[in-house]
Amino acid sequence: MRIKAGGVIELDGETITSWDDVSGTATDQTARDAAAAASNAAAAAQATATYGSNTANTALANAATAQSAAEAADAKAVTADGIADTALAVADGLNSRSNAWDKAIYTPGAQQISDNATTVLVAQAVARIGGSVAVTFADCEKQIADGTDGQFLTVICTNASVNAIKFSDGQGVKLAETVSFSMSANDVIQFVYDGANWVEVHRTDN
């Protein structure tokens, strides 16, 4: 504030002619202070809003990540279900094959052998063989006719005579430990063909 010539008072560049002029100046300052406070409040509100927006964006990003994880888990669950279904299908298939095997019935063929030059026929999976004399297949090139690779043959002796039919190692037959097998009624021996020989699977002396 300064006093100019003529006693004129000047305050902040304004000429004061009455108390009202001074009061008005104070009022303007108060208004400026209020405006500044309001501006600061607005800035604070803007900062708060920005923080809130950032927080919301972070929450949205977390939600998106959680959604992706959930979708991945669902995909794995679907894959696991598919594997389980495949395993069940395989198990069902094996059970079906097992049941089919259990129910397989082979009608035995019947062959009478009355000399050592006669070969056991293999047109059937089960061969019942017997004869009126003791048979050793001594005069046969092969004791059992050729089969198909992987074919099984079960031979059941029907001759009541003791040692009626005798298989020996050789002549197209491979016996366990090369031990011959003399068969009488109800004795059983099983072979599998390996493409060249009938290989013994098991024998039963009944």
Last residue of a domain, one of 77, 104, 131: 104
Residue 24: its pLDDT value, please?
52
Last residue of a domain, one of 87, 104, 121: 104
Question: Residue 22 has which token pair?
Answer: 């001074």
Q: What pLDDT band is residue 187 in, cutting at 50, 70 and 90?
A: very high
- Please answer whether residues 134 and 105 qualify as being in contact, where contact means their C-beta atoms are separated by less than 8 angstroms: no
Same domain, 116 and 81: no
Residue 83: its pLDDT value, please?
86
Same domain, 38 and 96: yes
Same domain, 6 and 23: yes
Same domain, 6 and 30: yes
Q: Which domain holds residue 133?
A: 109-204
Last residue of a domain, one of 104, 130, 152: 104
Q: What pLDDT band is residue 66 in, cutting at 50, 70 and 90?
A: confident
Alpha helices in 5-107 (DSSP H): 19-103
Q: How are beta strands 198-204 and 173-174 bridged, if at all?
A: parallel
Residue 74: its pLDDT value, please?
77
% pLDDT > 90, the chain: 42
Same domain, 139 and 97: no
Place of tokens 């079906």: 96
Beta bridge partners of 153: 191
Same domain, 1 and 97: yes
> Cα separation of 131 and 119, whole Å?
13
Report the mean per-residue pLDDT for the chain: 82
pTM: 0.51
Residue 202: its pLDDT value, please?
97
Same domain, 93 and 146: no
Per-residue DSSP letters for 111-165?
Answer: EE--STTPPBP-SSSEEEEE-SS-B--TT-S-SB----TT-EEEEEE---STT-E
Same domain, 193 and 143: yes
Same domain, 69 and 86: yes
